[in-house]
């Protein structure tokens, strides 16, 4: 089965059925839904990291993580499933890089390199973003990015300012 790495992020909570769900709860809920998908085997989840928001305007900090999965879904089927989860958890796509309840990205899918209109793997700018690399290093410091170095070396080239590993 193909192996994939999924990036998770949230910097907005939401009220759901009268209960406030924090960004951390948003990630926990998404991970539970991923684990319940019969065609996905959730192998490992990184620690959660609090990171500074990158994007327009004043935004709350993000909670970021990464998950390693094995799946019988194709990369495009996995993308469809992840976007469905985002929508179900209140994701509204209005402003690029704006605040969001949930952001799920396919970071890597096996060692495939794809650059289509709908999907780019490895995820664009993955190699230069500490908020993505820190959770990947937490999962596997020697993880190789196609056509690049491993995640530990890439993270060493990034500023870690504003990236804080949260207690487990």
pLDDT for residue 104 is more than 70: yes
Q: How far apart are CA 116 and CA 94, in angstroms?
A: 22
| 133 band by pLDDT with thresholds 50, 70 and 90 | very high
Mean pLDDT computed over 70-90 = 93
Residues near 151 by Cβ (< 8 Å), separated by ≥ 6?
133, 136, 137, 140, 141, 142, 143, 144, 145
Tokens at residue 100, please?
A: 């969001």
| Active-site residue list | 91, 100, 103, 105
pLDDT for residue 10 is more than 70: yes
> How many C-beta atoms lie closer than 10 Å to residue 164's C-beta?
12
For 24-39, the pLDDT digits (tens) are 999 999 999 999 999 9
Q: Which CATH class is domain 3-165?
A: alpha beta
Alpha helices (H) along 8-163: 23-36, 75-88, 130-139, 151-156
Listed by start position, the domains of the chain span 3-165
Instruction: Please give the pLDDT value at position 94.
Output: 61
Q: What is the DSSP letter of 144?
A: B
Instruction: Please give the pLDDT value at position 60.
Output: 85
Mean pLDDT of the chain: 89
| 52 band by pLDDT with thresholds 50, 70 and 90 | confident
Instruction: Please give the pLDDT value at position 16.
Output: 66
């Amino acid at each position: 089965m193909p192996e994939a790495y999924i990036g998770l992020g949230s910097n907005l909570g939401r009220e759901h059925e009268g209960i406030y769900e924090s960004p951390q709860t948003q990630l926990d809920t998404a991970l539970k839904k991923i684990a319940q998908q019969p065609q996905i085997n959730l192998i490992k989840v990184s620690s959660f990291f609090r990171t500074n928001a990158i994007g327009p305007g004043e935004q709350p900090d993000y909670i970021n993580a990464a998950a390693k999965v094995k799946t019988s879904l194709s990369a495009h089927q996995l993308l469809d499933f992840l976007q469905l989860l985002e929508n179900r958890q209140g994701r509204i796509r209005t402003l690029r890089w704006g605040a969001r309840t949930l952001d799920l990205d396919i970071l890597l899918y096996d060692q495939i390199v794809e650059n289509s209109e709908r999907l780019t793997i490895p995820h664009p700018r993955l190699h230069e973003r500490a908020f993505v690399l820190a959770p990947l290093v937490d999962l596997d410091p020697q993880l190789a990015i196609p056509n690049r170095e491993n995640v530990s070396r890439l993270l060493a080239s990034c500023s870690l300012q504003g990236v804080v590993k949260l207690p487990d």
